Chain A
Amino acid sequence: MKTTLLILSLVFLASCSSSRIERKIDDVHWDSLADESYLRWGESRLEKHASTQHPVINCYKGKAKETLVQYKKDYEKLVGTSYYWLHIGNCYFVQDAWSKAEFYYRMSLDESKNATIKSIALNNLGLISFKHEQWEKGKELLKESMKTASEFKVPRYNMSQLYLQFGHYDKAIQLLTEGPFKNSQDIDVYFSLANAWLYKGDLEMSGKYFAQIPKDHFRREDIAATYALYLIRKNDIKGAFAIMKARERSGVLEITAISQKIEKMLASRMKQE
């Protein structure tokens, strides 16, 4: 019986490991990208609005294959519509089928003259490039997307994440505080700004943005880890320890490794104290 449980737990752990942080937001007020992307729509939101939204929403509900079949059948009817190729690409994207997703994004780009569609396709192509660690290429695509439709938030957000990764904090802050993001309320935007200010070394500004994130979301492992580092910098070892303890494990190997480093450091600091 014990062996079985052990195997089951190992299986569970293995199945939990992912390359992606779950960033679903159920409360639409905390999702400033809601008008442009279904990606962060929580289950209840997807369910509630499925009928009034584009069919691609079903791909985010775990029905990508069926939806793609339906797109096939509806080809004659939908091929002339703006989003047809784009949404097929997104359904493949959801399934990590990057080559096919890219193919249809390019179809969309080739066949649409609509700036909005082009901008969306460029944004999504940028993400495909990031999947292949082609950062420069991805950056160029995002820049093009932003240029094509400057009112969009998502390409700006994506670009900010790229900048954050590579230490261009000022640029990230600029992107997330200006233009369409002015006065917007968004968990990931606040978290990104808190992160940027932290890494820039401005604990005050960082703290200001951390304070705007609802408490529940501190259980997200990426936010918890970043906030713990902030607290460490603030010398609040106990607070950092508590945050880390309360986190929900993401299963993403890299973040798990970071969390473990932080926990080790915290243990060492607590000993010293």
Chain B
Amino acid sequence: MRSFFISCLMLATTSVTATEAKKDRWNELMKLVTTEMKILESTKRKGPDMRYRMLELHSEILKLVHEKNNKEFLAKSTAGVRRPKEEYFAETRKYYSKTKEFGFNFLKEYPNTAHKPWVFFVLGLNSRDYGRDNVAEEYLLKTISLVNDPHNSLRHHAETALADHYYNEKRYKEAIVYYERAIKKSEDEWLTKHLFNLSWCYLKVHDFDKAIKAIQASYFKSKDKSYVNIRDQVLENIGSFYVYASRPLEGLEFYLKHEKDPVPYLMPMGLKAMDKGHMKETDQILASVQELINKNNWTKYQEQLFHTYLDFYNHYKRFPEHEKTSGQLVKYYQKAEAYNKTADKKKQLPVEMKADAIEKMRTLAGFLQIKVAKDMKEDSSDFKENELNVVLKFFEHLIVLDDTKRIEYYYFRAETYYSVRRWKDAAPSYVEAILEAKRVKEEKIGRKAFDSLLALTGMEVLSKEENKKFLIFAYSEHLAFWPRDERSEQIYPKLFEIYHEIHDDQKASQVLAVFHKYYPEHLKEQQKHMTRILDFFIEKKNTAKLAHWIHEMKAGFLSFSKDTIEKAEITLGNILFMQYQEMAKKGDRVAAAKGFESIYVHKLYTDKVKYQAAFFSAMLQLEMGETAKSYHWLELAHARMTDEQWQERRVEELKLTERMYRLQDFVTSFNMAKLHLKKFCGLKDDTQSRFFEIGIMTALVEENTKVAEGMISGFKKCINKPALVDTSLSQIYQFMEKQGDFHGLRLFVQRHPVEPYITQYRYSLQKWYWEKSSLTLKDSILTEFKVLKNEETSRWLVEMKLFEQAKKDREALESYVIWDKPVFDGDAYNKALETYLLKVQAFKNNYQGLTSSTQVDLAILSTRHFSQIYQIIGSKIQAVRPKGMDEATTKAFTGAMMGVGKEFLGVSAQFEKNLAKALKDKETLTHGSRSIASVEDIENPVHSFFTGVTMDKARE
């Protein structure tokens, strides 16, 4: 027992700070002792007292040396250095011999010294503690014999030292003799220790009653402050004493009665009782502990108690209870984990024994697993269901408790199921093991689990569906674990087949993608598999899926050729469009268009499909007369087309363009034409020429000559019929002329100063000059005629001026008074008449040429002028009545004038006759002919309102 104290002391010095302090203390002591020793040694005359002191100093030095050697021994042992122990203590032994020799020399020198019993006592203690000469007993007995007084303290010390010696030497009976003497000395403060040691001696000699009495005495004496308190040691051991005495419940009672918190002592006592076979009592002890914990909320002991229970149940093979307690312990650790995260220290629970708990459960689970498997192997009906359940529960606890080895528990659990042929449970357990292996990247157990699961799926012990599910799992995870691996290479096609069979294209293709990634050398095989997927979708008309995969293939999936992708796209288009085309055929164009539009907006489809959908929608919209919508969809189609695709559609688009204007949308038709001319300018073919024609035509229908001309200048290089340019220019010219657009026509001719426009322009202006009433326009035309500097327009200008002069001269002739004298004078009258007729002659000579002008309007108007003026002249001459003439003369004069006037009237009539004939014969429809028709000098009202009557139908 004393060695126990020493060990504790030694252990207590292991911490760094303690070691430092100890070292300082040791040096200090050594220094003090050696200093004193040197002083004493340097003394020449050394008496017995001094010698005895020196013996004491040697003993102190011996103690320090031993201390040093022991420290070194412990340090080296801990560090794993293997050397015979004795080598570490050579210095101790040496100094022991030196000290012993010094003692004997001292006794030799002073054989009768009063220090003699003390010298033997010191030598005895030194021999007991540091020597190997086994003379401690001898020297201590010598001491006792030298001190006769039984109350002498040296004798008491020697006796207790001898008792301790016997105790250490396991010579309990001899020790009892000396301890029994020692405990009689009630003033010894170490009485409690002697009682304690004595109790052990009684125990060792199986005198349990005395042992319990002695230890109880030690316990109670420890409460007395006169003695050294060894209560803790007593409490730690007294339980065992009761157990050894087969009275464990008395021990329990003792603790409960005398200790406020006996839990730390009850649990070891329980274990001791358990060891000694007191199962029932142990149960009672542990139950009491639990009661105390519960009562006092001593959660700090709960972990240890659970462990004690585990040991207890394990000891008596009470496995179900062990499992149950394990479950409680798992919950405890879960709770502790949660509490220990909080800052509330009061709530925190001890978890120091968690690793131990794991080990306990693990060991037991392992043991039971083997047992179950063994039982099953021997006889399948022999394994115990409850044992299996316990094993499985242990794995469940361990899965929760020990995350570092969770994968093992998953795997073991699966293996346990497998071993007892519970396939349905084994499979998901392997799945869990595999998933865990994946999580913690544990390949070794992972592979084992894969092997087992694959073996299981190969045994056909599960339902077909279940089997497939686990097979898929095993394959998929295997590929995820080992994407390039001998077995994986075989698995890819197998897994593909499974997915393909259940029509899970997404996963099947994923398999192919990974297969391709890790085995690019198998590309052909992979493509072949993918084609099977596509074929399936084609067969099922699953357009969404088909579109998806075309997208993927276009993005490079499995490196399919352009041709293959193209074929797939065409097939997709055919399937997609078929239903809406049917719909349109049946007359539901709105729905059909919507269908196409839905294809267009669908994210899945490729550009080609989208453009086709948009194109079909455009066509349908057009069929419904929705030109703007149609164009919108065409634009969307164009945005998705390649140039080649657009080019292929040109003829169709030409038809659409034609349909646009047929549907009254000239602007859109024009835009289409322009778009195509621009886009495919370089083609210069019939289609381009037709677009050109449409462009010009639609611009003119919209009365936009500027745009029409722009079309010519912009796109004449894009057509294959150069004559179209002239035709178009001619159309523009005619349009402007028709519109009476003087300024437009003038600029056009300036831009295109070529025939036939130059000539046509002159005649257009001439026609307008006579027809239009605007004086500003007439002035502009006259100015333009001057600017043109053309022989014909110059002549027309002269005639026009002449005609204006003729109108003035006619007025003069009309207002001319031939004779207004108060008295008639024949000669004078004749002269006056001659003068007038000469004026008429001059008028005729000056203006008669106008009646045959190439300007038809001028010729008609001039002729009418001449007719009218001769009419007026004739009438004027016939109406002359001179004043102052007698009746006979008047009669003769009037007759003569009537004749003269008649001549003129006849000419006038002839002019009219000729004019009427000419107009009638030629059905002349010029301004001139219209303007001469009048009644009372007022033009015919029909001139002003003629609009004609449109026709709508025939008589039905």
B674 to chain A, nearest CB (A): 19
Q: A100-B701, A255-B945 are in contact. Are A166 and B930 (CB under 8 A)?
A: yes
Please determine whether A56 and B952 come into contact, CB atoms closer than 8 angstroms: yes
Please determine whether A258 and B939 come into contact, CB atoms closer than 8 angstroms: yes
Interface status of B954 (Cβ within 8 A of chain A):
yes
Q: A75-B625, A162-B946, A171-B923 are in contact. Are A265 and B938 (CB under 8 A)?
A: yes
Task: Identify which of B624, B920, B947, B953 contacts A73 (C-beta below 8 A).
Answer: B624
Please determine whether A127 and B948 come into contact, CB atoms closer than 8 angstroms: yes
Interface size on B, residues (CB 8 A): 50
Q: Which residues 70-93 of A have a CB within 8 angstroms of B? A: 71-76, 79, 83, 86-88, 90, 93
Please determine whether B923 and A168 come into contact, CB atoms closer than 8 angstroms: yes
Q: Which residues of A contact B954 (CB under 8 A)?
A: 35-36, 116, 120, 149, 152
Q: Which residues 146-181 of A have a CB within 8 angstroms of B? A: 149, 151-152, 154-155, 157-158, 161-168, 170-171
Please determine whether B950 and A75 come into contact, CB atoms closer than 8 angstroms: no
Q: Which residues of B contact A232 (CB under 8 A)?
A: 935-936
Listed residue (A87, A103, A152) with the most chain B CB atoms within 10 angstroms of its CB:
A103
**Contact bitstring A16-57, B, C-beta under 8 A = 1, else 0:** 000111000000000001011111100000000000001011
Task: Identify which of A38, A161, A166, A265 contacts B952 (C-beta below 8 A).
Answer: A38
Please determine whether B936 and A157 come into contact, CB atoms closer than 8 angstroms: no
Task: Identify which of A21, A73, A132 contacts B740 (C-beta below 8 A).
Answer: A132
CA distance A143 to B662 in the complex (A): 28
Task: Identify which of B627, B739, B945 contacts A20 (C-beta below 8 A).
Answer: B945
Please determine whether B941 and A258 come into contact, CB atoms closer than 8 angstroms: yes
**Contact bitstring A93-108, B, C-beta under 8 A = 1, else 0:** 1000001100100010
Q: A37-B949, A99-B700, A229-B935 are in contact. Are A72 and B944 (CB under 8 A)?
A: no
A206 to chain B, nearest CB (A): 10
Please determine whether B664 and A167 come into contact, CB atoms closer than 8 angstroms: no
Listed residue (B623, B627, B663, B932) with the most chain A CB atoms within 10 angstroms of its CB:
B663
Please determine whether A88 and B664 come into contact, CB atoms closer than 8 angstroms: yes
Please determine whether A165 and B946 come into contact, CB atoms closer than 8 angstroms: yes
Q: Which residues 242-265 of A have a CB within 8 angstroms of B? A: 250, 252, 254-255, 257-258, 261-262, 265
Please determine whether B738 and A132 come into contact, CB atoms closer than 8 angstroms: yes
Task: Identify which of B623, B661, B662, B948 contacts A161 (C-beta below 8 A).
Answer: B948
Can you name the residue of chain B whose Cβ is closest to the Cβ of A143? Answer: B923
Please determine whether B938 and A229 come into contact, CB atoms closer than 8 angstroms: yes
Q: Which residues of B contact A165 (CB under 8 A)?
A: 925, 930, 940, 942-943, 946
Interface status of A187 (Cβ within 8 A of chain B):
no
Q: Which residues of B contact A116 (CB under 8 A)?
A: 954
CA distance A250 to B944 in the complex (A): 11
Interface status of A109 (Cβ within 8 A of chain B):
no
Q: Which residues of A contact B947 (CB under 8 A)?
A: 19-21, 127, 130-131
Please determine whether A265 and B936 come into contact, CB atoms closer than 8 angstroms: yes
Task: Identify which of A39, A123, A127, A199 contacts B935 (C-beta below 8 A).
Answer: A199
Q: A130-B948, A157-B949, A171-B923 are in contact. Are A222 and B941 (CB under 8 A)?
A: yes
CA distance A257 to B939 in the complex (A): 10
Q: A35-B953, A76-B623 are in contact. Are A195 and B944 (CB under 8 A)?
A: no
Interface status of B497 (Cβ within 8 A of chain A):
no
**Contact bitstring B909-952, A, C-beta under 8 A = 1, else 0:** 00000000001100111100110110110111111111111111
Q: A20-B945, A255-B945 are in contact. Are A166 and B929 (CB under 8 A)?
A: yes
CA distance A20 to B954 in the complex (A): 24
Please determine whether B935 and A252 come into contact, CB atoms closer than 8 angstroms: no
Please determine whether B953 and A54 come into contact, CB atoms closer than 8 angstroms: yes
Interface status of B460 (Cβ within 8 A of chain A):
no
Interface size on A, residues (CB 8 A): 84
Interface status of B702 (Cβ within 8 A of chain A):
yes
Q: Which residues of B contact A163 (CB under 8 A)?
A: 923
Interface status of B956 (Cβ within 8 A of chain A):
yes
Interface status of B955 (Cβ within 8 A of chain A):
yes
Interface status of B811 (Cβ within 8 A of chain A):
no
Interface status of A135 (Cβ within 8 A of chain B):
yes
Interface status of A216 (Cβ within 8 A of chain B):
no
CA distance A225 to B740 in the complex (A): 30
Q: Which residues of A contact B662 (CB under 8 A)?
A: 75, 79, 107
Interface status of B771 (Cβ within 8 A of chain A):
yes
Q: A36-B951, A72-B627, A162-B946 are in contact. Are A99 and B929 (CB under 8 A)?
A: no
CA distance A170 to B923 in the complex (A): 11
A271 to chain B, nearest CB (A): 16
B41 to chain A, nearest CB (A): 138
Please determine whether A39 and B949 come into contact, CB atoms closer than 8 angstroms: yes
Interface status of B703 (Cβ within 8 A of chain A):
yes
CA distance A120 to B939 in the complex (A): 31
Please determine whether A226 and B951 come into contact, CB atoms closer than 8 angstroms: no
Please determine whether A74 and B625 come into contact, CB atoms closer than 8 angstroms: yes
Interface status of A134 (Cβ within 8 A of chain B):
yes
Interface status of A204 (Cβ within 8 A of chain B):
no
Please determine whether A262 and B938 come into contact, CB atoms closer than 8 angstroms: yes
Task: Identify which of B702, B738, B941, B951 contacts A37 (C-beta below 8 A).
Answer: B951
CA distance A72 to B623 in the complex (A): 9
CA distance A167 to B929 in the complex (A): 7
Q: Which residues of A contact B924 (CB under 8 A)?
A: 166
CA distance A120 to B941 in the complex (A): 27
Please determine whether B625 and A72 come into contact, CB atoms closer than 8 angstroms: yes
CA distance A214 to B144 in the complex (A): 179
CA distance A90 to B951 in the complex (A): 8
Q: A38-B952, A133-B771 are in contact. Are A161 and B944 (CB under 8 A)?
A: no
Q: Which residues of B contact A63 (CB under 8 A)?
A: none
CA distance A58 to B225 in the complex (A): 131
CA distance A233 to B834 in the complex (A): 36
Q: Which residues of B contact A166 (CB under 8 A)?
A: 919, 923-926, 929-930, 933
Q: A73-B625, A250-B945, A258-B944 are in contact. Are A168 and B920 (CB under 8 A)?
A: yes
Q: A166-B929, A254-B944 are in contact. Are A132 and B949 (CB under 8 A)?
A: no
CA distance A165 to B664 in the complex (A): 35
Q: Which residues of A contact B623 (CB under 8 A)?
A: 75-76
B740 to chain A, nearest CB (A): 7
Can you name the residue of chain B whose Cβ is closest to the Cβ of A71? Answer: B664
CA distance A134 to B929 in the complex (A): 15
CA distance A103 to B663 in the complex (A): 12
**Contact bitstring B662-686, A, C-beta under 8 A = 1, else 0:** 1110100000000000000000000
Please determine whether B938 and A120 come into contact, CB atoms closer than 8 angstroms: no
Listed residue (B661, B939, B940, B955) with the most chain A CB atoms within 10 angstroms of its CB:
B940
B708 to chain A, nearest CB (A): 12
A-B contact pairs, 11 of them (CB 8 A): A21-B947, A37-B952, A54-B952, A99-B735, A119-B951, A120-B954, A126-B948, A135-B925, A161-B946, A166-B924, A166-B933
Q: A-B pairs with the 4 shortest C-beta distances?
A: A254-B944, A72-B625, A135-B925, A35-B955
Q: A165-B930, A166-B929 are in contact. List 10 more A-B contacts (CB 8 A).
A: A36-B951, A36-B955, A37-B952, A75-B663, A130-B947, A154-B949, A154-B950, A166-B923, A167-B932, A226-B941
